[in-house]
Amino acid sequence: MSKDYGSFPGTRPRRLRTSPAMRRLVAENRLNPAELILPAFVREGISEPQPVSSMPGVVQHTRDTLRKAAVEAAEAGVGGIMLFGLPERKDAVGTAGTDPDGILQVAIRDVVSEVGDRLVVMSDLCLDEFTDHGHCGVLDDQGRVDNDATLERYAEMARVQADAGVHMVGASGMMDGQVGVIREALDGIGRQDVSILAYTAKYASALYGPFREAVNSSLQGDRKTYQQDPANYREAMRELALDLAEGADIVMVKPALPYLDVLRKVADEVDVPVAAYQISGEYAMVEAAAANGWIDRDRTITETLTSIRRAGANMTLTYWATEVAQRL
């Protein structure tokens, strides 16, 4: 006969788990469509969207299908869209990235004209999609990424993206001093209203593989000399202090799930909004496991996004943004 513990009413946390309504009532963290950001790829020179094989459900958009995706996201209540441009031609310095008529600048104008301010229109400010070597900056004569020469290119990118009408730029290249240079470039053309999302702690992760297919990457080598070492934690705090001092409006941790500890620490340290990027490899793993019947896809998506929210992110870039917003 089991012992009667009814005389200990204060020791029963299960009372608050008794029903879906009760669990919903006491939930400590909730997902909201407004905190989701949709990354979207637009490719020059195609007439039909091209599926990304390693990311089921994700495509390289045409200009027309990108407009439609932006409208769908806005109607679902998604907070923002992050645009990545895929040019037909690449070169050593990423000329297409600073061409006012390059695919990314054209896409910014397309989306802004389509959705106005119903979405925060963001753009990737980095050279990797535009260089024939696939690195996030220009190379010196020994084949190394030249930090300061790259900053000059970033300043020019900031100006052309702002001229195209972008609301926020995503400083993703992990060059020293990038936030300050971009802020100075924007302010110098009177675009103090354009904000900066700093990729503050962007780790040299093994989980970027599907993204490289999505952007037709031509990367030679790796990015370990400028992206952060996955072993390091204090280094992220140093990057955080620098980005804040240089004028970052929002700071971000990327990837999300493998770095929830870093995300929590960043969120505890700052008084600006904090973002996280649920990257391509995180997406692909869930989709692959679900396709094999190993996990419940929808529950897993919700659980992963909730964990990112619980760790302190105010907003999350996720390829499921529109789908999840519609479900919410």
Tens-digit pLDDT string for the chain (328 aa): 566 655 666 788 888 999 999 999 999 999 999 999 999 999 999 999 999 999 999 999 999 999 999 999 999 999 999 999 999 999 999 999 999 999 999 999 999 999 999 999 999 999 999 999 988 899 999 989 999 999 999 999 999 999 999 999 999 999 999 999 999 999 999 999 999 999 999 999 999 888 787 777 777 778 888 888 999 999 999 999 999 999 999 999 999 999 999 999 999 999 999 999 999 999 999 999 999 999 999 999 999 999 999 999 999 999 999 999 999 9
Both tokens of 36, joined, read: 């989701």
Please, what CATH class does the domain formed by 30-327 belong to?
A: alpha beta
The one catalytic residue among 90, 224, 254, 265: 254
Consecutive H or E run containing 213: helix 209-214
Distance of alpha carbon 322 from alpha carbon 235, whole angstroms: 34
pTM value? Answer: 0.93
Cβ atoms within 10 Å of 209's Cβ, excluding its own: 15
Consecutive H or E run containing 21: helix 20-26
Cα 226 to chain center, whole Å? 18
202 catalytic? Reply is: yes
The one catalytic residue among 90, 202, 224, 265: 202
pLDDT at 3: 64
CA dihedral (279, 174, 111, 99) positive or negative? negative
Distance of alpha carbon 44 from alpha carbon 57, whole angstroms: 20
pLDDT at 42: 97
pLDDT at 136: 85
Domain boundaries, the chain: 30-327
pLDDT at 50: 94
Distance of alpha carbon 157 from alpha carbon 189, whole angstroms: 13
Contact criterion met (CB below 8 Å) for 43 and 64: no
265 catalytic? Reply is: no
Q: What angle do CA 97, 178, 245 make, to 5 degrees?
A: 150
